[in-house]
Amino acid sequence: MGTYPEVSLAAARTRCDQARELIADQKDPVEVKRVGQTASIHTFKTVAHEWLALQSKALSADILDMLRTRLDSYLIPRIGHRPIGAVTAQELLGALRRIEARGRHETAHRVRSLAGRVLRYAVATGRAERDVAADLKGALAPLLFVRPGELRAARWQEFDLD
List, for residues 9-25, the tens digit of each pLDDT value: 888 888 888 888 888 88
Neighbouring residues of 112: CB distance < 8 A, sequence distance ≥ 6:
92, 96, 133, 136, 140
Please determine, for residue 130, whether its predicted confidence score (pLDDT) is greater than 80.
yes
What burial class does residue 53 get, using C-beta atoms within 10 Å of its C-beta: 0-12 exposed, 13-18 middle, 19+ buried?
exposed
Question: Residue 12: its pLDDT value, please?
Answer: 87
Q: Which fold has domain 44-136?
A: DNA polymerase; domain 1 (1.10.150)
Predicted TM-score (pTM) of this structure = 0.67
pLDDT band at residue 33, thresholds of 50, 70 and 90? confident
Reported confidence tier of residue 96, pLDDT bands at 50, 70, 90: very high
Give the mean pLDDT of the chain. Answer: 88
- Closest residue by Cα to residue 100 from 92, 108, 90: 108
DSSP code of residue 43: B
Domain ranges of the chain: 9-41, 44-136
Residue 83: what are its φ and ψ, rounded to 5°?
Answer: -60, 135
